[in-house]
């Protein structure tokens, strides 16, 4: 992705300087931590006891960012700026409403949000209460090293997906889905959550379709590969489990990659109605 010369968004809250960052957690090396995070986030297994095992010492003293962290922060801010530019144009054109961008919170290890505590184990997420997306930038390394989702556009897709949840919030979709989930069984709640996540994938595709002049050869393929690698079925299988469709919350590899491609090919938000699709 060509980000040279692209502005960095000012809607970034960087909390990474305020916490400790150890090379090992609970006796795990960095590679082990990445693997545990991948299993926990994408399979629904609570890995907090594993990460906290053995006692973890963290410091609240301010620290300097590593060069890799600085680069990840600059990258995230520039990608966020592209989402602002795209949705500021697409919203009035396709919805007839003004777009208000979210804030991206960058953290390292652990932080707090109105939607609950955030840690590397939770993965990137969007909190509609404060309209902020939360991202531990170490997640990019996990994607590349443990999930096989390589490339800068794969990382950009992750940010675009979380911003897409903000788009859903702006449209009132998140509120309606949450109301339905409250009165649904766990299986029914999971099924509608899958449709919500697939719509976010599709909206990320719409964003990609409107990133004029910034895409490089292979970028779209990187995003589609990332969508495949983080499908519920693939992740459960890679974690040594037999895929259990009733537990899926994000969609299969085929569904995630297909809906991203649908949004990219159409470039229209109307193409992303996963809730009306008979077979999402």
The residue-averaged pLDDT of 125-139 equals: 94
Q: Looking at per-residue confidence, does 129 or 33 come out higher?
A: 129
State the residue for tokens 């970028």: 219
C-alpha distances in Å from residue 76, one per residue of 70, 209, 212: 10, 19, 18
Please tell me the total count of domains within the chain.
1
Residue 130 binned pLDDT confidence (cut-offs 50, 70, 90):
very high
| Mean pLDDT of the residues in the chain | 86
The residue-averaged pLDDT of 239-268 equals: 96
pLDDT at 148 over 90: no
Range of the domain at 261: 12-17+64-272
Q: Report the sign of the C-alpha dihedral through residues 17, 23, 27, 28, in that order.
A: positive
In a domain, 197, yes or no: yes
In a domain, 206, yes or no: yes
In a domain, 278, yes or no: no
For the ranges 29-33, 186-190, 249-253, the lowest mean pLDDT is seen at 29-33
Q: Are 123 and 41 in contact (CB under 8 A)?
A: yes
The residue-averaged pLDDT of 35-62 equals: 45
Here the tokens at position 98 are 């003004």
In a domain, 42, yes or no: no
Here the tokens at position 54 are 């053995």
Global model pTM greater than 0.75: yes
Q: What pLDDT shows up at residue 121?
A: 66
pLDDT at 155 over 90: yes
Q: What pLDDT shows up at residue 99?
A: 97
In a domain, 48, yes or no: no
Q: Where are the alpha helices (DSSP H) in the chain?
A: 30-43, 48-52, 67-90, 138-146, 152-170, 173-182, 186-209, 219-229, 232-238, 253-266
């Amino acid at each position: 992705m060509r980000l040279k010369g692209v502005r960095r968004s000012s809607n970034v809250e960087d909390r990474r300087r305020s916490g400790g960052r150890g090379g090992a957690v609970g006796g795990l090396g960095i590679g082990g931590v990445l693997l545990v995070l991948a299993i926990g986030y994408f399979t629904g297994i609570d890995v907090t006891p594993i990460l906290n095992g053995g006692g973890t010492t963290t410091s609240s003293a301010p620290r300097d960012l590593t060069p890799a962290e600085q680069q990840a922060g600059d990258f995230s801010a520039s990608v966020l700026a592209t989402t602002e530019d795209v949705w500021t144009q697409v919203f009035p054109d396709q919805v007839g409403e003004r777009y208000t961008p979210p804030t991206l919170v960058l953290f390292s290890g652990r932080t707090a949000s109105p939607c609950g505590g955030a840690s590397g184990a939770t993965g990137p997420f969007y909190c509609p209460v404060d309209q902020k997306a939360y991202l531990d930038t170490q997640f990019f390394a996990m994607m590349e090293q443990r999930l096989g989702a390589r490339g800068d556009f794969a990382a950009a897709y992750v940010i675009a997906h979380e911003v897409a949840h903000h788009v859903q919030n702006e449209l009132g979709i998140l509120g309606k889905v949450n109301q339905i989930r409250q009165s649904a069984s766990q299986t029914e709640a999971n099924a509608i959550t899958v449709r919500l996540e697939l719509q976010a994938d599709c909206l990320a595709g719409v964003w990609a379709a409107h990133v004029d002049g910034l895409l490089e050869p292979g970028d779209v393929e990187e995003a589609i590969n990332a969508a495949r690698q983080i499908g519920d079925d693939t992740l459960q299988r890679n974690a040594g489990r037999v895929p259990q469709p009733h537990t899926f919350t994000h969609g299969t590899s085929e569904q995630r990659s297909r809906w991203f491609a649908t949004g990219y090919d159409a470039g229209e938000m109307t193409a992303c109605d996963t809730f009306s699709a008979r077979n999402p």
